[in-house]
Structures are given as C-alpha cells and as structure tokens.
Amino acid sequence: MARILVVSLNFRTPEMTLKSAHAALAAMQGLEAELVIVDNDSGDGSYDWLCAQVAAQALPIRVIQSGHNGGFGAGNNVGIRAGMSDGSRPDYVYLLNSDAFPGTDAIAKLHDHLEAHPRAGCAGSYIHGEDGEAHMTAFRFPSLASEFEGAIRFGPVSRVLARWRVPLAVPEDTQKVDWLAGASMMLRMDALEQSGLFDEVYFLYFEETDLCLQLAQHGFETHYVHDSAVMHIGSVSTGMRRWERIPGYWLDSRWHYFSKNHGRLYAVGATLAHGLGGALWRVRRRLQGKPPADPKHFLRDLLKHDLSAATRPLPGVVAAQRRDDHVHV
C-alpha cells in the first residue's frame, strides 16, 4: 500500500489544529499514513501546548518546529522534508489546513484517485463551510485577460472573457483544473521531486497557484475530486476576511507569480490591465452608488508596489551580487 505523509501547519491556532488533527486521524484509518504537525514559529506557546496534548492523549502524531515563519509554503516544506518517522520517503503528501476537517473517507478518496490517474500530480477535495455551502476552490491560471476581467466587475466583459476568468464554478463532478486552493490537497511525491516543492519566496498567497503551474510544466495534471469532502472554516490564521488594507505580502506574491512565470514585462502588463479595469469599475461604482469592493486604497497600493518592483534588480542579479560580495569579503 502506498504511504501517505499528512502535514498540518499550525500558526497560533493550537486548539483548532488539534481538532483538525483528530479528524485527520479518523480519516487515516485503514491507510498507511502518518501525521506531522508543523508549528510555524508561532511564538505563543503553541508548540509546547501541542506537544503536551499529544503526549497526554497518546496520539500517533509528531509535532515539529519550523524554527522560522517563512510562510505557508515554507512551513509545509518543513513537514514534507521531515518525511516518514523512519526517515523514509512517502509516496504521497497530504496537506491539510489547520482549520479544515476531512470526512472519514476524504483522504482515501484522494489517494485512490491518484493511484488510478498516474498523470495527476495533485488532487484536491470538495470544500464546504460549516453551513454546508460549497466553497470556490478550483481555478484557472491568472492571465492578462483575467486581471482585467476581475478588476472591472462588469457582466458583459466577464461573459466575453469567460474562458479566462480565474474562479471556476464549483465543479459538480471530478475533473481536471488548473489549480486548487490548498486547504486539502494530496501531492504525488514523484511529481514533487521533478517540479520542486513550494517556492519559498511566497510568504502567503499564490504559492498553490505556482506549485500547480510547476507541476503542469513538468507534465502533471491537477484534479478536483468531488467525492473527497472536507469542511473548512477559512481565514482563521490569516484574518483575510478582516483586511482593511491589502497586506504587502499579498502584493509581493502576486508580482512574484507573474514575473517569475511570465517575465517582468508580462507582470507590468498584468498590473496595467488590472489598473485599467479597476479604474473603470471605480467610475461605474461612483455613478451607480455601489459600495466599495476592494480594501482601502487597493488600486493605489497595487500600482505603487508594482512600479517599485518593476524597477528593482532581477532576483538573479541580486543573488549574483550577494555571492560576489561574499567572495570578496
């Protein structure tokens, strides 16, 4: 039987993480699977509390410390690199958000799907909220057209650009998609060894998009598995629902995604497309008395950030300069 490493990333939500871990343990029954919780340098006693609870309840869980909060991707990479408890390599890695609760057969459904579809490098679950409502977690890759469509928020434009719109309607059955939100996803280790793990330049957001794109570029598909059901609360650690101003790490991640995967000129074009669409939306919003749809000063922050990013040296140039400085110390 294939071996599965289940990775749960905790950041200052230890009670929620442990509840999620209990659900994961129930869903791991009958599978050759192990669970590791990575405390992502919470600094609030989470690590000690989780270790104490795991010991007191005699749970078959490893709790490890990342040592540094490098973000979602970096924290999950710590868990993936930890491997199985005997030091061996898993066949699959299952990533589960600390505020997500898999159904009793959710992990097995993903495992069975990947076993049956060798070209699939990633399989993700049907996600629903506490109220039972389906969450939108399946997407197309971002593009120039999608940046304009998403920013202008105008039905006729969205219909014309429907094939480039990033969010997909919640699929009613299992199907191939471009990328999936990472609340519950299983990754084929053979595929990860070819594409690489999460890019740790991303602190938060766009890391799943980038990983699925890297898998696609190495010939692997991403599949949405409707029969694997997981309940997700969402935004517990990030506070996304309460954003008043767009955080810098979101802007950094968006710029890195476009410039890394399509080049700096394309990234500038994506920003201009978003800026044009956003400006037209704001005109219509004022004329029609519509409420704001973005965090405060979003468009200004986006344009200012990306103008600055476009004038910085390329990451490779900076790295080369740092290596050169080190050689001459």
Please report, for the domain that includes residue 35, its CATH number: 3.90.550.10
What confidence score (pLDDT) does residue 237 get?
Answer: 45
What confidence score (pLDDT) does residue 312 get?
Answer: 86
219, 250: one domain:
no
Q: What pTM did the predictor assign? A: 0.92
pLDDT tens, residue by residue, 80-138: 999 999 999 999 999 999 999 999 999 999 999 999 999 999 999 999 999 999 999 99
How many CB atoms sit inside 10 A of residue 252's CB?
18
CA angle 31, 23, 140 (to 5 degrees): 85
What average pLDDT does the structure give for the chain? 93
In a domain, 165, yes or no: no
Q: Identify the domain boundary among 210, 225, 240.
A: 240
Mean pLDDT of 31-59: 98
Mean pLDDT of 10-28: 98
What confidence score (pLDDT) does residue 325 get?
Answer: 34
What confidence score (pLDDT) does residue 207 get?
Answer: 98
Share of the chain above pLDDT 90, in %: 91
232, 123: one domain:
yes
DSSP letters along 115-166, please?
A: HH-TTEEEEEEEEE-TTSPBP--EEPPP-HHHHHHHHH--HHHHHHTGGG-S
Which of the residue ranges 112-126, 196-210, 237-251, 278-292 would you say has the lowest mean pLDDT? 237-251
pLDDT at 327 over 70: no
What confidence score (pLDDT) does residue 316 get?
Answer: 45
In a domain, 161, yes or no: no
Instruction: Give yes or no for a contact between 292 and 285, defined as CB atoms under 8 angstroms apart.
Output: yes
Q: Identify the domain boundary among 225, 240, 255.
A: 240
In a domain, 149, yes or no: no
In a domain, 316, yes or no: yes
60 to each of 21, 47, 51, 213, how far by Cα in Å? 10, 16, 11, 34
129, 88: one domain:
yes
114, 8: one domain:
yes
Q: Identify the domain boundary among 240, 266, 284.
A: 240
pLDDT tens, residue by residue, 130-188: 999 999 999 999 999 999 999 999 999 999 999 999 999 999 999 999 999 999 999 99
Instruction: Give yes or no for a contact between 222 and 272, defined as CB atoms under 8 angstroms apart.
Output: no
Residue 196 structural domain: 3-135+170-240
45, 73: one domain:
yes
What is the Cα–Cα distance from 135 to 125, expressed in whole angstroms?
11
pLDDT at 216 over 60: yes
pLDDT at 299 over 70: yes
212, 279: one domain:
no
Count of CA atoms in the C-beta half-sphere (13 A) of 293:
15
If one counts the domains in the chain, the total is 2
